[in-house]
Amino acid sequence: MPFRYLVFSLCLAAGASAQQADKVSPDYKVEIDNAWVRVLRVKHPPHAKIAMHEHLASVNIALTDIHEKFIGADGKVRLVYRKGGTVGYNEASKHSEENLSEDPMEAVIIELKQGPAHTPPVELDPVKLAPEHHIIDVENDRVRAIRTILPPHVKSPMHDHPHYVVVYLTDLHTTMKLADGRMVDNPRKPGDIGWRDAYRHQTEQMGDKTAMEIQVELK
């Protein structure tokens, strides 16, 4: 094979191995796509095998228990066991994967598109104002993932968030009072995903059961 065709073929192969996940498999659905993030919902049936694909640096939230095998572009094998509701952070990577479980799995992958989001500074930090209800699961120079636990009828103090993605782990019904006095009704179901621009608000949990959500704040 002439050298120029060999180089061209290798480039094509490299391009194929670097496809986005939703281009490789219908198991991935894009839920949010904006200037800062690309949020994917992934649902793998039992023993599903997904061809080589790539992810940007990302926060991963398991909605079910996960038992998977990943094979990186370098051939290294990594086995992952995670409980539903756990949060992790991965640097950009290329890999194939296989669901090793007898059960379907579901997760949310929040890919980070660019460098610092330069969101407004947080003056009223919920982690400092109500640490018993706001627990940091992951923090680095790009994101802070907060696990917010809301007992029945708890009312949070007024607080700030930078731009963030929220993933609801349970049923949740809150009312939110915004800084300008407006009231927003916010009923949600497990697995719902939302994007919110930076803002200040106060929440009241309207339900009779403890609720939980993950807020992935951008830095």
Q: How many CB atoms lie within 10 A of CB 22?
A: 16
H/E element, 134? strand 134-139
pLDDT recorded at residue 121: 80
**Rounded CA Rg of the chain:** 20
Count of CA atoms in the C-beta half-sphere (13 A) of 103: 8
Domain boundaries, the chain: 19-112, 126-218
Q: Say which DSSP state 107 is in.
A: E
Mean pLDDT of the chain: 91
Is 78 strand, coil or helix? strand
12 confidence band (pLDDT: 50, 70, 90): very low
Residue 126: is its pLDDT beyond 80? yes
* CA–CA distance, 34 with 219 (Å, rounded to integer): 15
Provide the sign of the torsion angle of the four alpha carbons 191, 149, 141, 86, taken in this order: negative
Please state, for a pLDDT cut of 70, what percent of the chain lies above it: 91
Which residues on neighbouring strands pair with residue 184, listed in sequence order?
Answer: 176
Interval 60-107: pLDDT, tens: 999 999 999 999 999 999 999 999 999 999 999 999 999 999 999 999
pLDDT recorded at residue 14: 41
55 confidence band (pLDDT: 50, 70, 90): very high
Interval 203-219: pLDDT, tens: 999 999 999 999 999 98
Residue 167 near residue 61 (C-beta atoms within 8 A): yes
Beta strands 164-168; 159-161: pairing state: unpaired
What's the CATH number of domain 19-112, 2.60.40.10, 1.10.3210.10, 2.60.120.10, 2.40.10.340? 2.60.120.10
126-218 and 19-112 share a CATH fold: yes
The top-level CATH class assigned to 126-218 is mainly beta
Mean pLDDT of 139-159: 96
